[in-house]
Chain A
Amino acid sequence: GENVEQHPSTLSVQEGDSAVIKCTYSDSASNYFPWYKQELGKRPQLIIDIRSNVGEKKDQRIAVTLNKTAKHFSLHITETQPEDSAVYFCAASSPIEDDKIIFGKGTRLHILP
């Protein structure tokens, strides 16, 4: 089955700088890659997603890139703000497994003042 690896597990960046979180997946049939943000004690919230027919997608300060050949995808946050502090999860989904979503272990992002 699908396996998703995520790194780093913890990331600290200065406010205003950029943050990058990287993930790899094992199932070449995976075709949907959502990213979730989870603040302490709250539900995971979908912040952006990308499908395998697209190499890059951007939404304001957030962008995601996908390299299908290498089976890795990344989340980029520019001009980081204090409210970006949270745990971020990448995930992958394959039609072979009826679209069940497999999550990475998460990256705890700290935005330093």
Chain B
Amino acid sequence: DAGVTQSPTHLIKTRGQQVTLRCSPKSGHDTVSWYQQALGQGPQFIFQYYEEEERQRGNFPDRFSGHQFPNYSSELNVNALLLGDSALYLCASSFLGGGDNQPQHFGDGTRLSIL
């Protein structure tokens, strides 16, 4: 039973570039949430996808966008990268079909460094 998998594990970009991060949810899960975790901080909610639509969004600019595919996997895209976008990007999956407030399980994250 595969858990949440993310790719790539590490990524180095320069300011102004664009990046795409990928996430495959845990088997049986239908919902994917993305978080940004700066060093020494708690994860900050970016957005959540369910049934291929953005269900909820946190306080992040439009430079952050996402997508969910029919197989429930998801991508996070960030345009016009800034130095402040350097962080660990975490994906978490859950099964919304099981009702509200289902436990979220995290992947290992993608460490994004902006030079």
Contacts and interface: CB of A to CB of B under 8 A. Distances in A.
A101 interface: yes
Interface stretch (A40-48, A66-74, A76-84): A40-48
A103 B41 CA distance: 9
Interface string B85-101: 00000100000000011
10 contacts: A32-B100, A45-B106, A46-B104, A89-B42, A98-B55, A99-B101, A100-B45, A103-B35, A104-B42, A105-B42
Nearest to A106: B42
A43 B58 CA distance: 21
A101 B104 CA distance: 9
B80 to A, nearest CB: 25
B107 A43 contact: yes
Interface in B61-115: 90, 100-101, 103-109
- Interface residues of B: mostly helix, strand, loop or mixed? loop
Interface of B: 4, 33, 35, 40-45, 48, 55-56, 58, 90, 100-101, 103-109
B42 A100 contact: no
A101 B90 CA distance: 13
B44 A100 contact: no
Task: Point out which of B4, B55, B100 has the most chain A C-beta atoms below 10 A from its C-beta.
Answer: B100
A44 B100 contact: no
A22 interface: no
A11 to B, nearest CB: 15
A93 B109 CA distance: 22
Contacts of B33: 100-101
Given A43-B106, A43-B108, A49-B103, 8 more contacts: A43-B109, A91-B42, A95-B101, A98-B48, A98-B55, A100-B48, A100-B56, A104-B42
